[in-house]
Copies of this chain bind each other. A is one copy, B any other.
Amino acid sequence: MTDKQSANNLAEQVMVRLSADIRGGRLAPGARLPTEQALTAELGVSRTVVREAVAALRADGLVVTRRGSGAFVADPMAGPFRIAAPHATTLSDILDVMELRLAVEVEAAAFAAERASRRQVAVIRTAWRSIDTALKRGEGAVAEDFAFHRAIAEATGNSQFPRFLAYLGSHVIPRQSVRLNVDTPDERRTYLERIQHEHSRIVAAISDGDAAEARRAMREHLTRSLGRYRTLAGGKKNGRR
């Protein structure tokens, strides 16, 4: 966690220091940061460096600056938040992210079942049909599949779910192409058809407003998908350490 010497430029060092002060609670939300002049004096760096550091913090959403007034620690909820920086994108990392995605999507299905409007259910059903037509054309339907899951996330009425999925999807889904390549056309077709059958179960549950069943269907769907990656990873299963 101590990454202070790793920076080769002063601005980043100052940025790390201030960031630590904020995240560590020494600078409470709403509190005012020392003035640029004070920081230059205290840290022995030029104003340019301090300003670049503050610019970085502002980009991170940790502080907001008001011209003529000062720089203030932002309300943490206001800024965009970042999670999970997979430095090396190993297969293990991907699996970890997929598990997180599973968690979110399972509950999204339940919320969708509870709260989706008829219009939103219709959107989900349309997305489902799009997968169908794509499969009949012999395509992989990767984009359609993503749209389907996205439609469910939208139907939760909670904007956090589609936002979350939007990111995860764009980085996890593309790897499906890897899987499809190693299968024979026959295996692939039966696989995709089973996927589609699982999808239909999810659609039915949401349409019926059955949250528990929606959860179950979605969990099975994603767990099965996860299982395929796990075997691909080399039998890394359960029971660690």
Once A96-B159, A100-B158 are accepted as A-B contacts, the answer to whether A167 and B77 lie under 8 Å apart by CB is no
Least CB separation from A59: chain B residue = B56
Name the interface residues of A67-94: CB closer than 8 Å to any CB of B: 67, 75-89, 93-94
A171 to chain B, nearest CB (A): 5
A219 to chain B, nearest CB (A): 9
CA distance A165 to B100 in the complex (A): 11
CA distance A87 to B81 in the complex (A): 11
Number of copies: 2
Q: Does A140 contact B (CB under 8 A)?
A: no
CA distance A36 to B1 in the complex (A): 32
What interface size band does chain A fall in? 35 or more
Once A59-B57, A104-B100 are accepted as A-B contacts, the answer to whether A84 and B240 lie under 8 Å apart by CB is no
Q: Which one of A76, A77, A114, A166 has the highest number of Cβ atoms from chain B below 10 Å of its Cβ?
A: A77
Least CB separation from A117: chain B residue = B241
Does the CB pair B96–A107 fall under 8 Å?
no
Q: Does A97 contact B (CB under 8 A)?
A: yes
Give the residues in chain B near A81, CB-CB below 8 Å.
82-85, 167-168, 171
Stretch at the interface among A47-55, A131-139, A183-191, A227-235: A47-55
Does the CB pair A240–B117 fall under 8 Å?
yes
Q: Does A2 contact B (CB under 8 A)?
A: no
Neighbour of A8 across the interface among B67, B77, B88, CB < 8 A: B67
A210 to chain B, nearest CB (A): 14
Least CB separation from A62: chain B residue = B59
Give the residues in chain B near A156, CB-CB below 8 Å.
99
CA distance A161 to B104 in the complex (A): 11
Q: List 15 A-B contacts (CB under 8 A).
A: A9-B65, A12-B58, A15-B59, A56-B56, A80-B85, A81-B84, A81-B171, A82-B83, A83-B163, A83-B164, A86-B159, A100-B104, A100-B164, A117-B241, A119-B241
